[in-house]
Amino acid sequence: MEPITGAEILVRCLHEEGVDCMFGYPGGAVLHIYDALYAQEKIKHVLVRHEQAAVHAAEGYARASGKTGVVLVTSGPGVTNAVTGIADAYMDSIPLVIFSGQVPTALIGNDAFQEVDAVGITRPCVKHNFLVRDIKNLAETVKKAFYIASTGRPGPVLIDLPKDITIGKAEFHYPKKIKLRSYNPTIKGHAGQIRKAVDLVMSAKKPMIYTGGGVILSDGSTELVELTQLLGYPITHTLMGLGAYPATDRQFIGMLGMHGTYEANMAMHHCDVLIAIGARFDDRVTGKIEKFCPEAKIVHIDIDPSSISKNVQVDIPIVGSVPNVLRAMISVIRDEKLKPDTKALEHWWRQIDEWRAIKSLSYRQSDEVIKPQYVIEKLYQVTEGKAIITSDVGQHQMWAAQYYHFDRPRQWINSGGLGTMGFGLPAAMGAKLAFPDQDVACVTGDGSIQMMLQELSTMKQYYTPVKIVNLNNGYLGMVRQWQEFFYQKRYSMTYMEALPIFVMLAEAYGHVGMRIEKPGDVEGALREAFAMKDRTVFLDFITDQSENVFPMIPSGGGQNEMLLAERDEMVSTHEEGMVLV
């Protein structure tokens, strides 16, 4: 076999992995790789305008499609710019492989031009990383990276490539399979534990199913729906889990947690058996740990043992992958013709429906000023609930989660763990590249959109027509809300003075801009925008500046201590809760 350059080896590896799309930005250390990319056509390379956007776009692509996202950045500032994106993918367990250029092996450690210790800087926020020191290991390292990123609990893997490695030559052999003695995720659940779990689940009088991102990541939605309907139990999702079970079905009682529905949080608080599936008991979900599900026995299914009993001690842990474990549970229930306690369940549903009747997501409509919730409701109607929705971070994110009812997995794409403002726009671009025929909308805010605005240029170049729904409240609204409640309305640095004219900005980048100020114009504008199939449209909705996200469990509160819209006196948060974010 002819020896080829390291850069060519890398490109061949990507072909072997079936990569059809990648995101990146060139620079000195990766010029050889870019030259090798120039000579091929199988991979579409998207030139972003900032490396952070490359990672978010790859995340959008991966979150929408389930495939591994691929990123290429240069050494030094290229890789430091990418770090926020990498941390974001790490927190939400998104499979990515990131290639970073590095100074030549001989110069490493010399403070060479554009040298940073990429492996050191990213170590705390990757699933794993590699520095390739010998071209002979290059292909195998790439194989390992894709394998590690996409299996078990997924996550980002970085490969640092010194420039001399990309220039040197070697024969290309791509391993068909890889086995790592030190890495063997458990997929199949322990039969004994599954047995115990089924017994507990069937004995429940006030059951609750609580699921998270793990169901989406593992494509376990089919099994989840089957089990949930077989049992007839109520189900709630975390912010990361939305879409796993159809939101329009009666058994779905809404999102739980800080901004979850009244019924979901109350049912959590009062349940006697909790079935946690691919969720990690985040502090935005549990509220005060001592007050979390005080009456419940807990089953927890997760592929990562370290997620289990990390924050909340559970009674029956099952390490394994969601689809496998749920299938095994369904088999036991079906084979043994087990039936839930219908009488108790009827009683429980009656209670839940009482909580539901409170309508915790109701808000006061206005004729004068656009309510942000109303925009999302209309967005839902106009897209017939079918669009892929990406989101930035803030109040608008919560409203999108609450008022767009996601019926299928991978339809809702947002930054949950790191909460990265700026995520939404590049993620929408990535999702659109994965599914060019689907409507993609990015719900954003006046603060967030300005963190990745430059990507409007990339979107022009690569023709990714998405609809940008800007809920423009003139504030860093989510922060303003906390200042209103917990800092006696001292609005320190949350007012966004001197906002740009977004319509003109959109036009400057070659897109369509619309400014909507009246409630009566909301629906028409959305219809008009979505009718322009081939254009990116920036919809700047001027919304109520003082609107807050409800319900809300103030940090440090229990799940049953929710604030409801305009019903509760705003109480100051618990002292100890003030340290939480």
- Rounded to whole angstroms, how far apart are CA atoms 149 and 96? 6
- For position 426 contacting ligand TPP by CB under 6 A, the verdict is no
Tell me the CB-side half-sphere exposure of residue 202, using CA atoms within 13 A.
16
Number of residues this chain uses to bind ligand TPP (CB under 6 A): 19
- Residue 113 annotated among the catalytic residues of the structure: yes
Per the CB < 8 A criterion, the answer to whether 30 and 6 are in contact is no
User: Please, which of residues 374-413 interact with ligand TPP by CB under 6 A?
Assistant: 392-396
Q: Which of 162, 254, 477, 558 forms a contact with Mg ion (CB under 5 A)?
A: 477
Tell me the CB-side half-sphere exposure of residue 512, using CA atoms within 13 A.
18
Residue 279 beta carbon to another protein: minimum distance, rounded to whole angstroms: 17
- Rounded to whole angstroms, how far apart are CA atoms 184 and 162? 29
- Rounded to whole angstroms, how far apart are CA atoms 262 and 553? 10
- Which of the stretches 164-172, 239-247, 265-273, 492-500 binds ligand FAD when contact is defined by CB under 6 A? 239-247
- For position 152 contacting Mg ion by CB under 5 A, the verdict is no
Q: How far is CA 325 from CA 231, 296, 303, 329, 559, in A?
A: 16, 21, 10, 6, 28
- Rounded to whole angstroms, how far apart are CA atoms 201 and 410? 28
Q: Which of 129, 321, 458, 548 forms a contact with ligand FAD (CB under 6 A)?
A: 321
Residue 359 beta carbon to another protein: minimum distance, rounded to whole angstroms: 40
- Rounded to whole angstroms, how far apart are CA atoms 68 and 22? 10
- For position 540 contacting Mg ion by CB under 5 A, the verdict is no
User: Please, which of residues 264-293 interact with ligand FAD by CB under 6 A?
Assistant: 278-280, 282, 284-285
Residue 494 beta carbon to ligand TPP: minimum distance, rounded to whole angstroms: 7
Of 67, 163, 288, 371, the active-site residue reads 163
- For position 557 contacting ligand TPP by CB under 6 A, the verdict is no
- Which of the stretches 104-112, 443-451, 511-519, 529-537 binds ligand TPP when contact is defined by CB under 6 A? 443-451
- For position 579 contacting another protein by CB under 8 A, the verdict is no
- For position 218 contacting ligand FAD by CB under 6 A, the verdict is yes
- For position 445 contacting ligand TPP by CB under 6 A, the verdict is yes
- For position 175 contacting another protein by CB under 8 A, the verdict is no
- Residue 51 annotated among the catalytic residues of the structure: yes
Residue with tokens 């391993």, as numbered in its chain: 175
- For position 475 contacting ligand TPP by CB under 6 A, the verdict is yes
- For position 12 contacting another protein by CB under 8 A, the verdict is no
User: Please, which of residues 112-141 interact with another protein by CB under 8 A?
Assistant: 119-120, 123-124, 127-128, 131, 133
- Residue 514 annotated among the catalytic residues of the structure: no
- Residue 114 annotated among the catalytic residues of the structure: yes
The amino acid at residue 239 is L
Per-residue DSSP letter, 308: T
Burial string for 50-61 (b: 16+ CB within 10 Å, else e) reads bbbbbbbbbbbb
User: Please, which of residues 419-458 interact with Mg ion by CB under 5 A?
Assistant: 445-447
- Sheet with 512-516, side-by-side order of all strands: 412-413, 388-391, 440-445, 467-472, 537-542, 512-516
182 makes contact, choosing from ligand FAD, another protein, ligand TPP, none, with CB < 5 to 8 Å by partner type, with another protein
- For position 419 contacting ligand TPP by CB under 6 A, the verdict is yes
Burial string for 334-345 (b: 16+ CB within 10 Å, else e) reads eeeeeebeeeeb
- For position 283 contacting another protein by CB under 8 A, the verdict is no
Per-residue DSSP letter, 521: G
Contacts of 162 (CB under 8 A, 6+ apart): 29, 102, 103, 104, 105, 108, 131, 132, 133
Q: Is 127 helix (H, G, I), strand (E, B) or coil?
A: coil
Q: Is 40 helix (H, G, I), strand (E, B) or coil?
A: coil
Q: Which is nearer to ligand TPP, 415 or 536 (CB)?
A: 415
Q: Which of 306, 342, 488, 492 forms a contact with another protein (CB under 8 A)?
A: 306
Q: Is 176 helix (H, G, I), strand (E, B) or coil?
A: coil
Residues that bind ligand TPP (CB under 6 A): 392-396, 419-421, 445-448, 471, 473, 475-479
Residues known to be catalytic: 51, 113-114, 163, 478
Site residues (CB under 6 A) for ligand FAD?
Answer: 92-93, 153, 212-214, 217-218, 238-241, 255-260, 278-280, 282, 284-285, 302-304, 307, 321-322, 393, 397-398, 416-417, 419, 478
